Structure 1
Amino acid sequence: MTDDLLFTGGEVAGAGRVDLAVRDGRIAAVGPGLARAGRSVVDVTGLLITPGLVDLHTHVGPGYWGIEPDPVAWRSGVTTWVDAGSAGAYTLAGLRRVVAGTELRVPALLNISAIGLAGRTGESRDLDNCDTALAVDTIQAHRDLIHGLKVRIDRDTVGANGVEPLRRALAAADACGVPVMVHIGTAPPALDEVLDLLRPGDIVTHCASGIAAPLGPAVHAARARGVLLDLGHGSGAFAFDVLERQLAAGLGPDTVSTDLHARSVHGPVFDLPTTMAKLLAVGVPLDGVIAAATVRPARALGLSGGTLAVGAPADLAVFRVEEGAFPVVDAHRQVRTAPLRLVNEATYVAGRRLAPRLSPPVPSWIPLTDAQRAALAQRERDLRALLTAPLVGADGLAEQFPRPTPRSSDA
């Protein structure tokens, strides 16, 4: 049964070994020695059980950057995929189709540019696309899906428009009572000009960018007034040396997200557990890393997940904790060593275990190194060899339709 489960013997960060009961897709009880009667028991002894991970910055909508989330979700523990601006008002219907076709939770941040991320960049160079009234109307009509706004502020995206797209996003956000996530990158406009506009509850993603290098008084001032710092790793927006300097200055990220998209899923990001290991590599404690990938991002957008509290959705991730020395790499090929890593054993959404899924081919416009192409080809060969071999031999089968016993007269 998927609506009446009991997970036994698992470790919960901060609570030790407990049982966890699920009923009707929600967490029914958490504690030691829960009754087993009438429940399907899932033994997770020796494993870590967490809320389903909440990735605050992903791209699963249509366009240049989008990926299919399901093939990554079942093996990574991410149950909530916040689509961060893939869709604008003109392209939201495409994101709706993605949401309808997945078992996962996909809340969205609406791009202030109505064309969304149909292309690689430049969506806010034409201010006619950054229509505040249209954004407000779109949010109001899609409150079930949209939980905030997204705007990319860097030289390539905004051209000569500076922070005007951000001002328009903030105006729409004020009208609707939602936060804004702002992408930072190559100046102009100046980083301080961006940060000074943000309100409590707004989110700076790519907060440890080696390109934007968010350090200094404006970052401290933004954090002090309640602006949230989100890692947003991506293909070019995370540098270990910047993060280490931020941590030393008391500016560690509030949330850890991947910015997982078609150019980062094959590296340097790979998935959220790998990104979490990168925080472990610079000394962030495991409990803090888990919180940054569960309860904190959920709270940032007012989502119902990210917790194991009774009554919460039974979105769960089960991990094996491996200790050792694990090299991890940032967007600039700097390497650090993580003391442990989380290896996903199972992922549940509303009490339903996700089934394995294979990823589609890489789009032709995505640049890959020769090493990445070779690794993908080898993975395909390995999967083909695994799936074309008979599953078991004769000793692993049962005779499903036994032959009748011969009668003596037939001898």
Structure 2
Amino acid sequence: MSWDLLIVGDDRDIAVGQGRIAAVGPGLPRDARQVVDATGKLVTPGLIDAHTHVGPGYWGIDPDPIAWYSGVTTWVDAGSAGAYTVAGLRRVAQTASVRVRALLNISAVGLAGRTGECRDLGNCDVPLAIDTIQANRDLFCGIKVRIDHETVGENGVEPLRRGLAAAEACGVPVMVHIGTTPPSLDEVAGLLRPGDLMTHCASGIAAPLGPAVREAAARGVLLDLGHGSGGFAFDVLERQLEAGLSPYTISTDLHARSLHGPVFDLPTTMAKLLACGVALSDVVDAVTVRPARALGLPGGSLTVGDPADFAIFDVRREPFTVADAHRAVRTSPIRLVNEGTYVAGCLLTPRLPAPPAPWIPLTDPQRSALADRERRIRALLSTPLVDVEGLAEQFPRTEPRSS
């Protein structure tokens, strides 16, 4: 038989047919319509980012212009949409080149604004959330609740209780955002069930370093990095690692305010864990098989029958300086540079990003860098691709016949 695609690696090859992995093993027959030489490269399952914002509202970004150069094939939107705004998120999922799954915000208004969605408990409607998930099982794989003082006001952990009730009825996990208190982190952690996720687990603001976090992790609560624009601090992560706590999943919380820094993308976030001494194999598991397992998602491994989602990386063993949300820096010994991202066996093609929304705060250096990038892209695309030596005469001239 002839495969659609064959990825040739150092110790195994991966064959693709009809958008799924058809065979895996060393020395597979080179009988494929397209053969990609990935020898000397790191070939991983398509990366799964368990905390992003690609839905409608204040925080949302377009995933496609980032996916093709970062290796992220599955984007889990973490609460951008509530029951009132599902249609907008579904349009994103239907038009994106990548796979989009989501966590339903317990607040029906979702993240239309910057914060405050759970201050009115009337928006935290448990029966409505249950009905919304049941009617959209192909899209939603869990529930998201943001618990910090700005978001909940005087309602404490009641939005979380409601999120847990809806999740229990639907048989899905809850991802809880932690941040400024009150309510206390101990109270939040004490409510979580095995399999629920605590995102921003190395937050310098929430500082989850006490016994409540260790007890939660011991009973099966999953720690999710959720970097974001304010949810990750090197010193907190390092203290957690010393105590034997490591993020189960590594996610970016990539959104309109973190895309241009301090997050940038998932490979850069992965380098921040490498800078703290986490092994490359563990880092890869935390962005592939573990989020797939935690959220019941397809993919996450390179086994026959799985979706043919891959990422190919050049592993550059060179110092790579990275920063956390508070501008502390560390140096990773490795930089992962994506050389190809495939969804269902199809290579994602380059896309240009949209400019930042007018409400996104940017520093002068960020604005200058964006303007410079635009100039360089314009110059690159406005310059003829090749000179005359790189052309062929596609329609040769013929001498006219004499009469």
TM range (shorter): over 0.9
Q: Secondary structure at the match of 1:80?
A: strand
Give CA deviations for 1:215-257 in whole Å, capped at 9, x if unaligned: 1211111011100000000000000000000000011100100
Q: Secondary structure at the match of 1:211?
A: coil
Pairs within 5 Å for 1:111-122: 111-122=105-116
Pairs within 5 Å for 1:152-163: 152-163=146-157
Give CA deviations for 1:353-398 in whole Å, capped at 9, x if unaligned: 1010011111000000000000000000000000000000111010
What is the Cα deviation at residue 169 of structure 1?
A: 0.3
Q: Which amino acid aligns with 2:287?
A: A
288, 306, 309: which one aligns with 2:303: 309
313, 321, 326: which one aligns with 1:327: 321
Paired position in structure 1 for 2:5: 5
What is the Cα deviation at residue 79 of structure 1?
A: 0.2
Pairs within 5 Å for 1:44-83: 44-83=38-77
| Separation in structure 1 between the aligned mates of residue 70 and residue 399 of structure 2, nearest angstrom | 51
| Separation in structure 1 between the aligned mates of residue 269 and residue 299 of structure 2, nearest angstrom | 20
Q: Which amino acid aligns with 2:6?
A: L
What is the Cα deviation at residue 42 of structure 1?
A: 1.0
Paired position in structure 2 for 1:14: none
355, 362, 375: which one aligns with 1:361: 355
382, 389, 394: which one aligns with 1:395: 389
Q: Secondary structure at the match of 1:106?
A: strand
| Separation in structure 2 between the aligned mates of residue 38 and residue 141 of structure 1, nearest angstrom | 40
| Separation in structure 1 between the aligned mates of residue 23 and residue 183 of structure 2, nearest angstrom | 50
Structure 1, unaligned runs of 5 or more? 12-16
183, 187, 205: which one aligns with 1:193: 187
Q: Does 1:27 align with 2:17?
A: no
Change (3 A) 1:401 1:310: same
| Separation in structure 1 between the aligned mates of residue 371 and residue 208 of structure 2, nearest angstrom | 38
| Separation in structure 1 between the aligned mates of residue 3 and residue 339 of structure 2, nearest angstrom | 20
| Separation in structure 2 between the aligned mates of residue 318 and residue 386 of structure 1, nearest angstrom | 25
Change (3 A) 1:180 1:3: farther
| Contact kept? 2:238, 2:276, Cα under 8 Å | yes
Paired position in structure 1 for 2:275: 281
Give CA deviations for 1:274-318 in whole Å, capped at 9, x if unaligned: 000000000001000000011000110011111101110000001
240, 243, 246: which one aligns with 2:240: 246
**Identical aligned pairs, as a percentage?**
74
| Separation in structure 1 between the aligned mates of residue 69 and residue 34 of structure 2, nearest angstrom | 22
TM (normalized to structure 1)? Answer: 0.96
Q: Secondary structure at the match of 1:259?
A: coil
Change (3 A) 1:338 1:146: same
| Contact kept? 2:3, 2:32, Cα under 8 Å | no
133, 137, 145: which one aligns with 2:139: 145
Paired position in structure 2 for 1:337: 331
What is the Cα deviation at residue 28 of structure 1?
A: 1.0
| Contact kept? 1:3, 1:351, Cα under 8 Å | no
Q: Secondary structure at the match of 1:107?
A: strand
What is the Cα deviation at residue 70 of structure 1?
A: 0.2
Q: Which amino acid aligns with 1:117?
A: L
Q: Which amino acid aligns with 1:326?
A: F
| Separation in structure 2 between the aligned mates of residue 104 and residue 393 of structure 1, nearest angstrom | 36
| Contact kept? 1:240, 1:334, Cα under 8 Å | yes
| Contact kept? 1:187, 1:212, Cα under 8 Å | yes
Q: Which amino acid aligns with 1:243?
A: L
Q: Which amino acid aligns with 2:62?
A: E
364, 372, 377: which one aligns with 1:370: 364
| Separation in structure 2 between the aligned mates of residue 122 and residue 232 of structure 1, nearest angstrom | 19
Paired position in structure 2 for 1:133: 127
What is the Cα deviation at residue 39 of structure 1?
A: 3.7
Q: Does 1:386 align with 2:368?
A: no
| Separation in structure 2 between the aligned mates of residue 37 and residue 234 of structure 1, nearest angstrom | 44
Paired position in structure 2 for 1:204: 198
Q: Does 1:237 align with 2:219?
A: no
| Separation in structure 2 between the aligned mates of residue 3 and residue 311 of structure 1, nearest angstrom | 14
Give CA deviations for 1:73-113 in whole Å, capped at 9, x if unaligned: 00100000000000000011100111111121111100000
Structure 2, unaligned runs of 5 or more? none
| Separation in structure 2 between the aligned mates of residue 170 and residue 186 of structure 1, nearest angstrom | 20
Paired positions, count: 402
Paired position in structure 2 for 1:109: 103
Change (3 A) 1:38 1:7: closer
Paired position in structure 2 for 1:42: 36
What is the Cα deviation at residue 29 of structure 1?
A: 1.1
Q: Does 1:265 align with 2:235?
A: no
| Contact kept? 1:77, 1:346, Cα under 8 Å | yes
Q: Which amino acid aligns with 2:355?
A: P
87, 97, 100: which one aligns with 2:81: 87
Displaced runs of 4 or more, over 4 A: none
| Separation in structure 2 between the aligned mates of residue 89 and residue 286 of structure 1, nearest angstrom | 38
Q: Secondary structure at the match of 2:334?
A: strand
| Contact kept? 2:82, 2:110, Cα under 8 Å | yes
| Contact kept? 1:3, 1:25, Cα under 8 Å | no
| Separation in structure 2 between the aligned mates of residue 212 and residue 137 of structure 1, nearest angstrom | 32
Give CA deviations for 1:155-188 in whole Å, capped at 9, x if unaligned: 0000000000000000001111000000000000
Q: Which amino acid aligns with 1:215?
A: L
TM (normalized to structure 2)? Answer: 0.98
Q: Secondary structure at the match of 1:317?
A: strand
